[in-house]
Amino acid sequence: MSEVLNHQQIKKKITRMAYEIYERNLNSKAVVFAGISGMGIILSDLLAAELRAISPLTIEQTEVILDKAHVSSEEVVLTNEIDLRGKTLILVDDVLNTGKTLVYAMKPFLEEELYKMEIAVLVNRSHGLFPIRPDYTGFELSTTLNEHIKVDFSGDNYFVYLH
């Protein structure tokens, strides 16, 4: 396993992503972060906290719960219902690999009257099998299909590993 990003690098990337979100959403009624269960919700929490620290935007949060191993056959559930009319939704996950998880995570939002929907990921592996492109990316990393990215937000030190 080799380290791709250390704690300080991850913090800087989250700060930069939060500033980008703020710049692109100055006129939004509100920003709703929808973090995918697992590392996605943790990244969502970190981005929301950083955005709150640097902007006056109204920020709301929900968690998208789905089974990443069986996304097409399992129900996609939100932890709390939010009125999304006219708001910007930012769907958040730790790693974008093929795009399949993010496509299925969009299901609960497709019939909502959103202002716009954006995607934020910490690491984009660029193995797109689905037409998903992140609006906010912490780090682009070209990998082989046999390599795996592990994001670790546990404890006080965050890391991204390639193995």
Q: What is the pLDDT along the chain (163 residues), one digit of tens a residue?
A: 899 999 999 999 999 999 999 999 999 999 999 999 999 999 999 999 999 999 999 999 999 999 888 877 778 989 998 999 999 999 999 999 889 999 999 999 998 999 999 999 999 987 777 889 999 999 998 887 788 899 999 888 999 999 8
**Residue 9, both tokens:** 């690098």
Sort strands 159-162 and 136-140 into parallel, antiparallel or unpaired.
unpaired
- DSSP letter at 70 equals G
| Tokens of residue 30, six digits | 């509100």
In the CATH scheme, what architecture does the domain 2-22+30-162 have? Answer: 3-Layer(aba) Sandwich (3.40)
Instruction: Label residue 143 exposed, middle or buried (CB < 10 Å: 0-12, 13-18, 19+).
Output: middle
What is the distance between the alpha carbons of residues 142 and 54, in angstroms, rounded to a whole number?
31
- The partner residues of 78 in beta bridges, in order of sequence, read 64
Residue 126, class by beta-carbon neighbours within 10 Å (0-12 exposed, 13-18 middle, 19+ buried)? middle
Instruction: Say whether pTM exceeds 0.85.
Output: yes
Across the chain, what does the average pLDDT equal? Answer: 93
